[in-house]
Structures are given as C-alpha cells and as structure tokens.
C-alpha cells in the first residue's frame, strides 16, 4: 500500500475498544498502512493481579503487530507502564509512543521514566511526542541529555498551525510526522488539503524516511480519514524524481565510510569502476585539459597523467587533444601493478598503442623528458586527505619550467559545524569505541549544517619545481574559523568539503552552495566530536583544525570551542592528537 515508500498511518480520536478489529476494518478501509492505538485501557487493577485480562487489552494478537504503533495509556504508574511495554514487546510492536513532552512537563521525571524503560534492552524503542513550537527542541534536548543520548529514543514531531523553521529537527531521530486533522483546510470540492507552506514542509520531510500519522482532532470526530490519507499520497506523487546522481547516492545516505588511502593501499578494480561512473567529473577534467592544450605554446605537447588508475583521464586527454586539434604525446604513470594490466588492455583495444605506460611511484620516477601538462586526480573529500600535496610536490619535478601546467592548479578545504544525532551515534558505534576521533566519508543527510562552510586552507601547484622537498613541514597547516549559530543546536562535529581549480575557470566543488552539478564521486567528510556541545542562537563556535605530518604519516587534529552571549563557554577536546586514532600513510 505504501507509495514510493511513503507510510501513512491514522490515529483515531478517543479510545478504540478492539485494536485487532480496528486494523482489520477501519484502518484498511481508510487505506492506511498502520494505526496508532493505545496498548491497553489504562487498567490499574492489572498491577495487583500481575496480568491483563482480555477486555483491558487493545492489541491482542501479534497478527497485526506491523500495522500498529503502540501508545502508552499511562505515564504516572510506572509498574503499569512497564507491564504495558512488556505486553507491547510480546505482541511484537516495533515502537511505543510516550505522552507529549510539553511546556508543562517535568523534564527530569519524564526523562527518568524514559531512561528506566529504554535501559531495559529487551523493551521496544520509545517515541517522544513533541509539538513543533518555540522551546520544543530545547525540551527534547534536555530530555535526551538526561537520558545520556540513548539511541532507543525517537521523536514524533507534531506539526501545528504555526509555520516555524524545522531544519534543526532534521538532525534528530524523527520517525514520525504527526498531522492533526485540524491543520487541513477544505478545497473547493470540500476535500482536505494543506496550506502551501505546510505542503512545502511535508515535501521536504518526504526525503527523510519518516512515516506520517493523520491524527484525528476531537472536533473532527466525524471526518473520513481516507480523504486525508489519499491527499498525502497525492502530495508524494507530486514530488520530482531525483536526478540520476542523487538516486545513485541515496543508498549511501548517512553511511560512514573510512576514507580511502590510495597512496598506501592499492585500489580494487570495482573502486575504479565506481569512480568512472561519475561522468560530470571527467567532463570537467576533459574541458580543463582541452583549454590547457589550446593555451600551450609547445608544438608537440607532452601530457602526463599521474595516478592513471584504469585510464579514464587518459581517454579524456586523448579526446581533448583531438578536440583541440593538437599533437599530444600522452604518458600514463600508475603505481598500482594490477591497474597497469588494465591500462595495457585499454592501450591495445582503445588507444591504438599511442600511450606510454609507466609503472612507477610518481614521487621517485626519473623521466627522460618533461611534461607540459601534468594531470592528476588525487583529491579526497577534504581536498588534500588522499595526500595530493605530498605526491604533487614531487611530481611537479616532471613539469617543464617555467610554463608547465598542473591540473588541478589548486584545491581548498572547508568546514562547517554540524548537528546530527544519527551520525554521532554511528561514529560512536564504529570501530569498537574508537570511532569518535577519526573522520569519515559520508553522504550527510539526517543532519543540520549550522552555518555556511568556511575556508580552512588551500594548496597550490602553479610552480614547476626542481626538487623533492626534504621534510613535509611546508604541507602542515593550522586554521581557525568562527561561526555564528542561528538556532538552538547540539553540535556533533564538523562537515568537511573541498573545491578545486582544475584550470582557469574550470572548477570542481562539493561545497553545498557551489556543488558541481550531478557530480557524485565525493561525499563530504564528517569529523565527529566526542562530547556533543549545546549552542544557543547567537553563540559563536570557533573551530580549530590542524594538518600535521611526521615521517610517513599525515593526519588531522580538530577542536571546537563555543562562546555564549552570557559569558558561558565550552571547549571540546583536541581530537586525534598526534594521530593516535587516524592517520594517512605516505
């Protein structure tokens, strides 16, 4: 019944006597995927008795467990509550809704009840119901802090009449969006529809794997819920199809990946194959190479592809030469012996043996001739994190002075503070408790980026060089940037991005505001912080970041400090000091 994966449930007003009958009859009639029903009839007598009698129970069998979202009938009597949750777990309910966390709730005792229940690992996850309004996020934040960031706490966000900015909720474990029927207005034909601003908000959430609940308001006791359910499905049908790139990246949403180490490790063919599917990236490279070939004063141009992999840049270099109508000798250098086999195959089948193939580490290879154009793609999600600076320092010896051209000419790293309960929980679970002092490559989705990314540092390769630098100290960096927070937030770390100038005005970027269209080779970086930090509107967050290098290792260290308007301040640890959790090998 779910359309495009959209799950719509109904929550009838008043008490339902028999849950199983409701699911089989009314819920199915109104084309809902599930119903929100109280688990029992708040049967206090059950506590003394030690069990529920049949008439006290709403959802009686496990037959409909997937179609029912349980609701706690009580919150005051903790013995009754735990009996109710035990029954919910027995019947197989996947989660249970706690009562609303409102302005009048005693947060400490609410949190205590929650924590006592979710600490029992046999129990079902609990969903905290909150109304999206001023102060709601701060209440939720306090409760989840009191509960020690328990991952089995989730959120049901009920929208109201007020239009308010919900972006901070995208960083939270929101499972349900609750829409009371009174939020809807009648259209010309009398059917329920949402206001334009609510429509836009709901459509934004439709990209966030949440389920929807139509909650029947008391004054709407007699309305037919089928019209509301159908309307939501209609709204989902009006969503634009995602681009091919977005569809390809969707399965990686919020999946943490260890950054590649293509210098230290030899990549596998399947990894190269994934790179090669990103046509926009190679289109930009081809364009940059063509421009550089056109601009070259040489009669016979020597173009070296350093780190050629399976050869996609070689193919593009040959095409660029043809388009520019110039004679170009192409030399491909690659250190991975297995990739070299594939390069030989392509040279025979596709390139007419016109490419010179060299198996070598570009840092030590001694050429017999110099290059006019040196092309590489050694960029990571943070620009320099796959050691492009270290490799190109040495490779620039291969360039003909003074006019040799390096593609890319430069690249820069950026960071922005980020809030994401999900990413933080996943980092914490990663690597056996060592996961919070190491960066990840991740298609960041369930997150709120708290400010515009700012420049950390850049590397430039505009000068051919004649020497291999001795130590690597010139590639060390230290940067500090200050961000002003707009909404109350819990900072879980930093998002990292890069952009690069390939040649002239041909650029690549993964920064959100300048992202190269449809390019999907690079997801952003996530640098977690061990202890999430609360920030209020107007607070300043200062990020310190270091790129350090010693012997055959390069690594990042990072820290976040916050300064509030009322002279409050907090500092994170300096993470990954001396590369104790993460480094990149030369």
Ligand X SMILES: C[S@@+](CC[C@H](N)C(=O)[O-])C[C@H]1O[C@@H](n2cnc3c(N)ncnc32)[C@H](O)[C@@H]1O
Question: Which one among 307, 435, 496, 528 touches ligand X, defined by CB under 6 A?
Answer: 307
59 versus 387: smaller Cβ distance to ligand X: 387
At its nearest, how many Å lie between ligand X and the CB of residue 40? Answer: 58
366 three-class SS:
coil
- Give the binding range for ligand X (CB under 6 A) out of 147-155, 334-342, 440-448, 565-573: 334-342
Residue 277 contacts ligand X per CB under 6 A: no
Q: Which residues are annotated as a binding site?
A: 272, 281-282, 334, 361-362
Applying CB under 6 A, among 113, 141, 336, 443 the residue interacting with ligand X is 336
- Comparing CB distances to ligand X, the nearer of 269 and 482 is 269
Q: Any idea what DSSP says for residue 375?
A: E
313 binds ligand X (CB under 6 A): yes
CB of 377 to ligand X, least distance (A): 4
Considering the complex, what minimum distance in angstroms separates the CB of residue 310 from ligand X? 6
Task: State both tokens at 507.
Answer: 């650029």
Is residue 502 a contact point for ligand X (CB under 6 A)?
no
Based on CB atoms, which residue is closest to ligand X, 339 or 525? 339
**493 near ligand X, rule: CB under 6 A:** no
Tell me the window of 21-29, 187-195, 332-340, 408-416 that interacts with ligand X (CB under 6 A). 332-340
- 336 vs 385 by CB, closer to ligand X: 336
* Whole-number Cα distances in Å, 498 to 130, 175, 455, 507, 509: 37, 32, 9, 11, 6
Candidate residues 57, 235, 333, 446; the one interacting with ligand X per rule CB under 6 A: 333
**Segment interacting with ligand X, rule: CB under 6 A, options 211-219, 237-245, 335-343, 480-488:** 335-343
Size of residue set near ligand X by CB under 6 A: 22
**Ramachandran assignment for 377, one of left (phi > 0), alpha (psi -120 to 50 degrees), beta (any other):** beta
Point out which span in 116-124, 161-169, 329-337, 463-471 binds ligand X (CB under 6 A). 329-337
Nearest to 447 by CA among 478, 429, 420: 420
Cβ neighbors of 207 (< 8 A, separation 6 or more) are none
The reply on whether position 288 binds ligand X by CB under 6 A is no
- The answer to whether 491 touches 561, Cβ cutoff 8 Å, is no
User: Torsions phi, psi of 372, nearest 5?
Assistant: -85, -35
Catalytic residues: 377, 386
Cβ proximity to ligand X, 206 vs 292, nearer residue: 292
State how far the Cα of 367 lies from the Cα of 359, in Å rounded to an integer.
12
Closer to ligand X by CB, 143 or 290: give it.
290
Residue numbers in the known binding site for S-adenosyl-L-methionine are: 272, 281-282, 334, 361-362
In the complex, residue closest to ligand X by CB: 307
Residues in region 351-410 near ligand X by CB under 6 A: 361-363, 377-378, 391
- The secondary structure of residue 523, as a DSSP letter, is P
3-class secondary-structure state, position 374: strand
CB of 64 or CB of 363, closer to ligand X:
363
Q: Which is nearer to ligand X, 139 or 284 (CB)?
A: 284
Is-contact 149 121, C-beta < 8 A?
no
Residue span 236-275 as binding mask against ligand X, x where in contact by CB under 6 A, dash where not: --------------------------xx---x----x--x
Helix 269-276 vs helix 337-349: angle between axes, to the nearest 10 degrees? 50
What length does the chain have? Answer: 586
CB of 252 to ligand X, least distance (A): 17
Supply 469's token pair.
Answer: 């630098």
Q: Shortest Cβ distance from residue 330 to ligand X (Å)?
A: 13
Q: Looking at 12, 19, 173, 312, which residue binds ligand X (CB under 6 A)?
A: 312
Shortest Å distance, C-beta 519 to ligand X: 12
Q: Does 584 bind ligand X (CB under 6 A)?
A: no
Q: Specify whether the CB–CB gap between 490 and 141 falls below 8 A.
A: yes
Q: Who contacts 345 (Cβ-Cβ below 8 Å, separation ≥6)?
A: none
Instruction: Round to whole Å and give the CA distance between 127 and 99.
Output: 9
The answer to whether 2 and 25 have CB atoms below 8 angstroms apart is no
Alpha carbon distance 174, 157 (integer Å): 7
The CA distance from 475 to 469, in Å, is 10
CA atoms within 13 A on the CB side of 103: 4
Q: Which segments of 384-452 are extended strands (E)?
A: 405-407, 410-419, 440-441, 448-449
Gap between the Cα atoms of 314 and 409, Å rounded: 18
**Site for ligand X, rule CB under 6 A:** 262-263, 267, 272, 275-276, 307-309, 312-313, 333-336, 339, 361-363, 377-378, 391
């Amino acid at each position: 019944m779910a359309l495009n994966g959209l799950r719509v449930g109904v929550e009838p007003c008043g008490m339902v006597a028999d849950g199983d009958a409701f699911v089989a009859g009314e819920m199915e009639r109104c084309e809902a995927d599930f119903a929100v029903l109280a688990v029992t009839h708040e049967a206090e007598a059950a506590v003394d008795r030690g069990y529920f009698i049949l008439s006290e129970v709403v959802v009686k069998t496990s037959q409909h467990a997937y179609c029912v979202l349980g609701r706690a009938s009580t919150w005051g009597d903790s013995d009754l509550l735990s009996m109710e949750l035990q029954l919910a777990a027995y019947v197989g309910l996947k989660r249970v809704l706690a009562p609303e966390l409102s302005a009048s709730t005693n947060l400490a005792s609410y949190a205590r009840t929650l924590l006592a229940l979710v600490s029992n690992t046999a129990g079902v996850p609990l969903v905290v119901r909150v109304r999206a309004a001023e102060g709601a996020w701060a209440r939720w934040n306090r409760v989840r802090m009191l509960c020690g960031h328990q991952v089995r706490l989730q959120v049901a966000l009920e929208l109201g009449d007020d239009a308010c900015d919900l972006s901070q909720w995208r960083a939270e474990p929101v499972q349900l969006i609750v829409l009371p029927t009174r939020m809807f207005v009648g259209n010309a034909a009398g059917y329920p529809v949402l206001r334009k601003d609510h429509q836009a908000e709901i459509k934004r959430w439709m990209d966030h794997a949440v389920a929807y609940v139509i909650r029947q308001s008391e004054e709407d006791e007699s309305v037919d819920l089928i019209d509301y359910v159908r309307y939501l499905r209609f709204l989902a049908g009006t969503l634009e199809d995602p681009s091919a790139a977005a569809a390809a990246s969707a399965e990686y949403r919020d999946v943490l990946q260890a950054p590649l180490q293509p210098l230290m490790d030899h990549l596998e063919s399947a990894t190269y194959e994934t790179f090669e599917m990103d046509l926009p990236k190679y289109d930009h490279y081809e364009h940059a190479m063509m421009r550089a070939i056109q601009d070259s004063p040489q009669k016979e141009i020597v173009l070296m592809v350093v780190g050629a992999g399976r050869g996609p840049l070689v193919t593009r270099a040959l095409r660029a030469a043809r388009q520019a109508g110039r004679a170009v000798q192409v030399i491909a250098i690659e250190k991975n012996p297995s990739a070299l086999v594939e390069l030989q195959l392509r040279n025979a089948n596709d390139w007419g043996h016109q490419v010179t193939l060299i198996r070598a580490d570009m840092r030590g290879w001694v050429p017999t001739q110099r290059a006019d154009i040196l092309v590489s793609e050694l960029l990571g999600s943070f620009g320099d994190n796959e050691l492009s600076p270290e490799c190109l320092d040495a490779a620039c010896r291969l360039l003909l002075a003074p006019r040799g051209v390096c593609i890319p000419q430069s690249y820069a790293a950026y960071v922005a503070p980020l809030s994401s309960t999900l990413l933080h929980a996943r980092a914490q679970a990663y690597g056996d408790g060592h996961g919070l002092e190491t960066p990840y490559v991740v298609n960041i989705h369930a997150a709120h980026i708290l400010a515009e990314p700012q420049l950390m540092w850049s590397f430039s390769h505009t000068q051919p060089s004649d020497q291999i630098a001795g130590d690597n100290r010139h590639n060390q960096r230290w940067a500090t940037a200050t961000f002003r927070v707009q909404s109350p937030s819990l900072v879980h770390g930093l998002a990292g991005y890069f952009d690069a100038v390939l040649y002239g005005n041909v650029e690549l970027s993964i920064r959100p505001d300048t992202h190269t269209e449809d390019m999907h080779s690079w997801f952003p970086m996530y640098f977690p912080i061990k202890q999430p930090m609360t920030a209020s509107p107007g607070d300043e967050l200062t990020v310190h970041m270091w790129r350090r290098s010693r012997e055959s290792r390069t690594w990042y260290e990072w820290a976040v400090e916050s300064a509030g308007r009322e002279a409050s301040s907090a500092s994170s640890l300096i993470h990954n000091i001396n590369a104790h959790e993460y480094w990149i090998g030369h």
